Structure 1
Amino acid sequence: MHELLSFTLLGLTSFFTLINPLGVMPIFMTMTGELQEQERKRTAKKAVFVSFIILMVFAFTGQLLFKFFGISVNSLKIVGGVIFFLMGQDMLQARLVKTKISEKEVRTYVNDISITPLAIPMICGPGAITNAIVLMEKANTIDMKVILVIAVAVICFLTYIILLNSSKLIRALGDTGNDVLMRLMGLIVMVIAVEFFVSGLKPIVQDILHI
């Protein structure tokens, strides 16, 4: 019983930290600022649902997929870092948000941003994917596997609730506040991108140089 409780706490705390819904929220606010409440809700729902499915796929088949395609977690970090950096650069220059979105473009826009970059790599990033694979390896009983699935579902649901409440902040900040927040978060995202890139590149370089 103690082992199950410890594993539950580990799953909840690690996924909350790695997914970091509070960190995703400003970016979600920025990218959905021009959308109606219903479309913003649909975007959050789809992004979180896609993230949950991806985490489950990697949790149960991650090791096999990585071996089959010859992919390493470090490569995933490098790609995530590049995506983060480009996105942060657009945010820093206030180019991330479409100033005008016609009704015909809304559906396409929602589908695009809910998958990339919100689901991947913002919510479901290299850290969360790696955590899902590692914890599933540790889950040596059916009970622990079920607990892991529930833990991911709970954190995804909390992320959804936090993203929905971001609309209140959007209204409170106004256009100027959102613009300032977008530029500030752009800088932070670029710093995170560099950390991702370096942490992924360092082991590869060390392996090449046999350090």
Structure 2
Amino acid sequence: MGGHKKTTVWVGMNDHIQAIVTVLSLVNPGICAAMFAKAEAGRSRGSKLTDAAKAAMAILVILTVAALAGARLLHLFGVSLDAFMVAGGGVLAWMGFSMLSHQPADSEPDAAQSLTPLIMFAASPGTITGVITLSAAHSQLKLPVTALTAIVVAVASTWLVMVIVACLPGRRHGGGFLRDTLTRFMGLIVLAMGVQFALTGYHAFVQKAM
């Protein structure tokens, strides 16, 4: 009995860790920090800190709404969770492949002085799909604790990185090689997670059909 409880706790922790890594990879605090540094170049430290909080709050609201309402919208439109996991897994796999082959610098906005590109990048359709997929996979239309936990950790990490950037001298935008390597590593994780979601959804769909 005790062994079964330990196994259940371990599985739950593993789900949370898996979800956190997935959402962190999709939000990508490293690229968000680079975009934030470019958009906030020349502004005072106080303004940077305020904008970092505003950006983090916007990302948090968008992803939280997706986690809470996404699965219910699927249910409303008659889309099964298994089918959405297959589709969502495909989107995540495509995003992961794009991160592996894409130059991260191209994701940074050419026009500075705007946080909109940063927010749209962090809370992109791919990230929203990942959040809804996590919510559908672990909540079964109940409160998506796993997805919400992953969102809070990812947004808090992104906010912290932006705060660090705001407190540093804004003269250099180095670290391109490290940022590119990190992005490609995260892309591999997202690709693997997308394949796993798609296969899990397909397996469940086939089992129910039989």
Aligned match of 1:35: 35
Aligned match of 1:127: 134
**Contact 1:56/1:132 (8 A) holds in 2:** no
Whole-angstrom distance in 2 between the partners of 1:152 and 1:194: 18
Whole-angstrom distance in 2 between the partners of 1:90 and 1:158: 24
Q: Deviations over 1:15-53 (max 9, x none)?
A: 844641x55335422432431254665443222211222
**Structure 1 length as normaliser, TM-score?**
0.64
- Which blocks of at least 5 consecutive residues in structure 1 are unaligned? 1-8, 137-147
Whole-angstrom distance in 2 between the partners of 1:40 and 1:90: 27
Aligned match of 1:115: 123
Higher relative helix content: 1
AA partner of residue 56 (structure 1): L
Shift of 1:80: 1.4
Residue aligned with 2:124, SS: helix
Whole-angstrom distance in 2 between the partners of 1:107 and 1:81: 28
Partner of residue 54 from structure 1, selected from 59, 66, 86: 66
Q: Does 1:200 align with 2:201?
A: yes
Shift of 1:198: 0.8
AA partner of residue 111 (structure 2): E
Aligned match of 2:44: none
Whole-angstrom distance in 2 between the partners of 1:154 and 1:195: 20
Whole-angstrom distance in 2 between the partners of 1:153 and 1:183: 25
Aligned match of 2:6: none
Whole-angstrom distance in 2 between the partners of 1:152 and 1:203: 20
Whole-angstrom distance in 2 between the partners of 1:193 and 1:125: 13
Shift of 1:157: 4.1
1:178/1:66 Cα in 2 relative to 1: closer, same or farther (>3 Å)? closer
Q: How does 1:152-171 map to 2 (within 5 A)?
A: 156-167=151-162, 168=164
Residue aligned with 1:34, SS: helix
Shift of 1:86: 1.5
Aligned match of 1:186: 187
Shift of 1:108: 4.5
AA partner of residue 165 (structure 1): L
Aligned match of 1:70: 78
Cα RMSD of the aligned pairs, angstroms, is 3.8
Aligned match of 1:85: 93
Give aligned pairs, total. 180
**Contact 2:33/2:158 (8 A) holds in 1:** no
Whole-angstrom distance in 2 between the partners of 1:111 and 1:190: 22
Whole-angstrom distance in 1 between the partners of 2:117 and 2:81: 29
Whole-angstrom distance in 2 between the partners of 1:97 and 1:43: 20
